[in-house]
Amino acid sequence: MTDQHDNPIRQAVADAIASNDVILFMKGTPEAPACGFSARTVGALQALDTRFAAVDILPDPRIRQELTALSQWPTIPQLFVGGELVGGCDIVTEMFESGELAELLGADAQAHASEPAVTDGAALQIENRLS
């Protein structure tokens, strides 16, 4: 396996995870998700008024390849909180519905609706940072 420091894409992915409290690697952007799974995950975060960084993995297939190598998680989206992988859409949705996601994020569990909805939230976005 290539050393992380010899691989600028892997280093950029690792740096993005380390430097953002909440970061979502997704298909598309929070404003325009490119798949339903990414849209549901964004909706859960926005329903909890969570500020998060987002990285669109679609512009460069190497982003997904290096992310998967680092996280050992094969699917997109991937949510990281405090540098740790939380999981993909199904896990995030289950955690949202049970209140665990609100607890993990320190959000007010009473403030969210019963179903996540994609809205125009104030998401912090990383655009093409990894290209």
Q: What residue has token string 């699917």?
A: 75
* Beta strand residue intervals within 38-94, DSSP E: 53-56, 78-81, 84-87
User: Is 122's pLDDT higher than 80?
Assistant: no
Bridge partners of 80, per DSSP, are: 23, 85
> What pTM was estimated for this model as a whole?
0.80
Q: Cα–Cα distance between 20 and 34 in angstroms, integer?
A: 22
**122 or 110, higher pLDDT:** 110
Examine the pLDDT at 93 and tell me if it is beyond 60: yes
Give the CATH class of 4-111: alpha beta
CA distance 131 to 129: 6
Give the pLDDT confidence of 8-67 residue by residue, as tens digits.
999 999 999 999 999 999 999 999 999 999 999 999 999 999 999 999 999 999 999 999
